């Protein structure tokens, strides 16, 4: 009895220290061993006002043992919140499904939809899929800890909902009876579509304040599939059955009304070459990917870029409203797809405004020499019109019978490998697509190095 009391008091103390602002988790299957045991990497972000730890516990199934944890390897500190990313590798006796739960933390004070306790659940499904011949990968997404909208403005938040297996990804609010949140009261000011877009409509000032948004993202097969466990048992899933589920939790701040909702005045607006929302970018191991972001606001002053991305992502301020994100994937990240989300913030008269939310997915291609075009001499050469482009200036190609000739001069302080050149071409392709050239294929016609 005394022991119970002591434990309860400790719990109360520790929960009050937490100032939770949400979490998101994705999982990446690892190796399958001869004895049927498997490994999985759980990658999760935890958001707090000040950097804090909170650990996940086993909710159901055999969650195995944690063999290696990279903790607090990335922190986004901007005065408002701290987002850390942790990667936990679990060693499992078989590929049977299990659930992990985050429990016992405490959201920030005075959440308008009344949420106090933090809770989240991930369902990890690693059984062999009949359609892919591999373990399932969860949907992949991320979100910054807190997004802002003035109470008098319309805004849509299209969350990144990428699935490496090509599954149909859907979002719903958490369900209290499935222990997905505690409780799962949805924010009255948002309407959620199953395609993971949240729509905010102008509301009265009495609805201003922070809201806890507690979503569950699930992947559904596009056709009926079977899942095979290490011991040979099989389960059939139809397109109505979720395969795995991950939590997506964050804070929506509904701020005081702004004199104008026109984007580009008080509210900063993204302009080119910022990637479009949900764009898919490519890079390869040890190859730096650069994402250039530009935003404008004519009345307020742009004061920063808030990001949520993989570990060791860097942001470089380039000038007013201009930022560059750089990220170099590790060998262990080869073959995976990693989400990055960002918003620009701007200040005016002690108020802070956010741009809309942009998210991209970066796929780390296995071996660019086999998955992308290799240098060839093309019979199209005579149709090619030569124009020039450099890495920093805008690309202005001239169209001739839908064939674009592009001569790019790339300067580098070190000798570029073929892989780096091919990865660069993928990025050029991406930017051209972004400027409206659809269904584009790029062939490297010639390439000289001096
Ligand atoms: C966070 O840390 C700052 C400085 O370290 C401190 O002033 C502040 O009170 C802390 N906030 C919370 C909610 O613990
Ligand atoms: C989180 O926990 C790890 C190991 O338990 C510890 O090394 C680290 O300092 C902790 N971080 C914080 C912010 O408490
Ligand atoms: C939360 O609300 C209470 C009562 O209205 C108030 O005293 C407290 O300052 C508020 N806390 C925060 C962080 O706004
Ligand atoms: C999954 O099933 C495919 C055949 O459907 C098989 O080739 C593959 O080895 C299996 N993978 C595992 C990890 O059991
Ligand atoms: C929540 O889950 C329970 C148990 O699976 C189910 O009966 C109920 O319909 C669900 N509620 C909603 C709103 O989906
Ligand atoms: C902001 O100023 C620029 C340059 O004067 C102008 O082109 C742009 O239309 C303005 N934006 C808005 C939203 O008025
Ligand atoms: C700045 O904010 C204060 C208080 O909110 C307000 O009285 C004042 O009119 C604002 N100034 C401008 C230039 O908008
Ligand atoms: C691009 O390809 C898709 C499918 O092949 C087609 O439906 C679409 O019309 C094409 N778009 C253009 C602009 O050619």
Residue-wise pLDDT tens digits, 387-421: 222 333 333 333 334 555 677 777 666 677 776 77
**Closest ligand (CA of 135):** 4
Q: Which of 118-127, 153-162, 423-432 has the lowest mean pLDDT?
A: 423-432
Ligand 6 atom showing the smallest separation from residue 263 Cα: 13
Mean pLDDT score of the chain: 84
Cβ density class 56-69: b for 16+ within 10 Å, e for less = beebeeebbeeeee
Q: Name the residue with higher pLDDT: 204 or 421.
A: 204
Q: Are 346 and 297 in contact (CB under 8 A)?
A: yes
User: pLDDT tens across 251-263, in order?
Assistant: 999 999 999 999 9
Residue among 109, 208, 253 whose CB has most ligand 3 atoms within 8 A, to mutate: 109
Q: Average pLDDT in the 125-145 region? A: 96
In this prediction, residue 80 has a pLDDT band, given cuts at 50, 70 and 90, of confident
**Closest ligand (CA of 433):** 8
Ligand 8: does its nearest atom lie under 6 Å from the Cβ of 438? yes
Tell me the CA–centroid distance for residue 347 and ligand 7, in Å.
Answer: 13
- As a whole number of angstroms, the distance between CA 338 and CA 330 comes to 12
Q: What per-residue confidence (pLDDT) applies to 368?
A: 44
- CA angle at 184 for the pair 181 and 187, rounded to the nearest 5°: 135
In this prediction, residue 74 has a pLDDT band, given cuts at 50, 70 and 90, of low
Q: What per-residue confidence (pLDDT) applies to 67?
A: 85
Q: Which of 128-132, 178-182, 230-234, 385-389 has the lowest mean pLDDT?
A: 385-389
Q: What are the Cα distances from residue 13, in Å, to 55, 81, 116, 218, 373?
A: 16, 21, 14, 34, 59
Q: Whose CA is nearest to atom 4 of ligand 2?
A: 71
Ligand 8 atom showing the smallest separation from residue 439 Cα: 1
Q: What per-residue confidence (pLDDT) applies to 431?
A: 67
In this prediction, residue 186 has a pLDDT band, given cuts at 50, 70 and 90, of very high
Residue 79 pLDDT > 80: no
Ligand 8: does its nearest atom lie under 6 Å from the Cβ of 402? no
Q: Name the residue with higher pLDDT: 431 or 326.
A: 326
Ligand 2: does its nearest atom lie under 6 Å from the Cβ of 53? yes
Ligand 4: does its nearest atom lie under 6 Å from the Cβ of 133? yes
- As a whole number of angstroms, the distance between CA 337 and CA 322 comes to 25
Q: Whose CA is nearest to atom 11 of ligand 6?
A: 264
- β-pair partners for 174: none
Q: What per-residue confidence (pLDDT) applies to 242?
A: 98
Q: What per-residue confidence (pLDDT) applies to 76?
A: 73
Ligand 4: does its nearest atom lie under 6 Å from the Cβ of 232? no
**Closest ligand (CA of 437):** 8
Q: What per-residue confidence (pLDDT) applies to 96?
A: 97
Residue among 16, 20, 80, 110 whose CB has most ligand 3 atoms within 8 A, to mutate: 110
Residue 104 pLDDT > 50: yes
- As a whole number of angstroms, the distance between CA 24 and CA 74 comes to 14
User: pLDDT tens across 292-340, in order?
Assistant: 999 999 999 999 999 999 878 999 999 999 999 999 998 888 888 999 9
- As a whole number of angstroms, the distance between CA 353 and CA 149 comes to 7
User: pLDDT tens across 342-379, in order?
Assistant: 999 999 999 999 999 999 999 998 754 433 333 332 32
Q: What per-residue confidence (pLDDT) applies to 238?
A: 97
In this prediction, residue 287 has a pLDDT band, given cuts at 50, 70 and 90, of confident
Q: Name the residue with higher pLDDT: 319 or 7.
A: 319
Q: Name the residue with higher pLDDT: 10 or 40.
A: 40
Ligand 1 atom showing the smallest separation from residue 17 Cα: 14
User: pLDDT tens across 110-125, in order?
Assistant: 999 999 999 999 999 9
Q: Average pLDDT in the 121-140 region? A: 96
Ligand 5: does its nearest atom lie under 6 Å from the Cβ of 175? yes
| % the chain with pLDDT above 70 | 81
Q: Average pLDDT in the 177-200 region? A: 96
Q: What per-residue confidence (pLDDT) applies to 167?
A: 96
Three-state secondary structure string covering the chain: CHHHHHHHHHHHHHHHHCCEEEEEEEEEEEEECCCCCEEEEEEEEEEECCCCCCCEEEEECCCCEEEEEEEEEEEEECCCCEEEEEEEEEEECCCCCEEEEEEEEEECCCCCCCCCEEEEEEEECCCEECCCCCECCCCECCCCCEEEEECCCCEEEECCCECCCCCEEEEEECCHHHCCCECCCCCCCEEECCCCEEEECCCCHHHCEEEEEEEEEEEECCCCEEEECCCCCEEEECCCCCCEEEEEEEEEEEECCCCCCCECCCECEEECCCCCCCEEEEEECCCCEEEEEEEECCCCEEEEEEEECCCCCEEEEEECCEEEEEECCCHHHCCCEEEEEEEEEEEECCEEEECCCEEEEEEEECCHHHHCCCCCCCHHHHHCCCCEEECCCCCCCCCECCECCCEEECCCCCCCCHHHHHHHHHHHHHHHHHCCCCCCCCCCCCCCCC
Q: Which of 29-38, 49-58, 389-398, 439-448 has the lowest mean pLDDT?
A: 389-398
Ligand 1 atom showing the smallest separation from residue 49 Cα: 13
Q: What per-residue confidence (pLDDT) applies to 397?
A: 38
Residue whose structure tokens are 């590929």 = 95
Q: Which of 144-158, 186-200, 254-268, 423-437 has the lowest mean pLDDT?
A: 423-437
Q: Average pLDDT in the 259-270 region? A: 97
- As a whole number of angstroms, the distance between CA 7 and CA 422 comes to 58
Cβ density class 330-369: b for 16+ within 10 Å, e for less = eeebeebbbbbbbbbbbebeeeebbbbbbbbbbbbbeebe
In this prediction, residue 381 has a pLDDT band, given cuts at 50, 70 and 90, of very low
């Amino acid at each position: 009895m005394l022991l119970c009391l002591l434990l309860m008091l400790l719990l109360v103390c520790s929960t009050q220290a937490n100032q939770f602002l949400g979490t998101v988790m994705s999982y990446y299957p690892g190796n399958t061993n001869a004895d049927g045991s498997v490994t999985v990497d759980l990658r999760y972000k935890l958001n707090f006002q000040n950097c804090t730890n909170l650990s996940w516990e086993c909710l159901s199934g055999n969650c195995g043992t944690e063999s290696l944890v990279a903790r607090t390897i990335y922190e986004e500190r901007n005065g408002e919140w701290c987002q850390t990313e942790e990667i936990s590798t679990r060693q499992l006796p078989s590929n049977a499904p299990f659930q992990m739960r985050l429990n016992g933390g405490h959201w920030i004070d005075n959440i308008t939809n009344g949420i106090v306790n933090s809770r989240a659940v991930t369902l990890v499904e690693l059984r062999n899929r009949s359609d892919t011949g591999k373990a399932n990968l969860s949907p992949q997404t991320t979100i910054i800890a807190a997004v802002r909208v003035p109470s008098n403005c319309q805004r849509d938040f299209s969350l990144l909902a990428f699935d490496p297996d090509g599954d149909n990804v859907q979002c719903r609010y958490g369900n209290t009876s499935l222990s997905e949140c505690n409780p799962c009261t949805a924010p009255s000011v948002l309407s959620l579509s199953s395609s993971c877009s949240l729509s905010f409509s102008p509301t009265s000032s009495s609805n201003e304040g922070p809201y806890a948004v507690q979503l569950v993202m699930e992947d559904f097969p596009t056709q009926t599939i079977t899942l095979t466990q290490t011991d040979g048992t099989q389960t059939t899933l139809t397109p109505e059955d979720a395969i795995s589920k991950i939590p997506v939790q964050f804070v929506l701040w509904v701020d005081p009304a702004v004199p104008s909702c026109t984007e580009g005045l008080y509210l900063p607006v993204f302009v080119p070459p910022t990637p479009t929302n949900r764009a898919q970018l490519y890079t390869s191991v040890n190859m730096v990917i650069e994402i250039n972001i530009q935003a404008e606001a004519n009345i307020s002053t742009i004061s920063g870029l808030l990001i949520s991305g993989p570990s060791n992502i860097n942001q470089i301020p380039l000038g007013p409203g201009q930022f560059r994100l750089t990220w170099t994937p590790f060998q262990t990240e080869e073959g995976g797809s990693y989400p990055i989300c960002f918003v620009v913030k701007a200040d005016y008269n002690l108020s802070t405004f956010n741009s809309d939310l942009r998210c991209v997915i970066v796929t780390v291609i296995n071996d660019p020499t086999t998955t992308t075009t290799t240098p060839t001499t093309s019979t199209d050469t005579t149709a090619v019109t030569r124009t020039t482009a450099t890495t920093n200036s805008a690309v202005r190609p001239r169209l001739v019978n839908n064939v674009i000739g592009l001569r790019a001069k790339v300067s580098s302080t070190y000798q570029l490998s073929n892989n780096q050149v091919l990865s660069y071409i993928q990025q050029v392709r991406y930017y051209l697509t972004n400027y409206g050239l659809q269904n584009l294929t790029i062939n490297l016609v010639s390439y000289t190095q001096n």
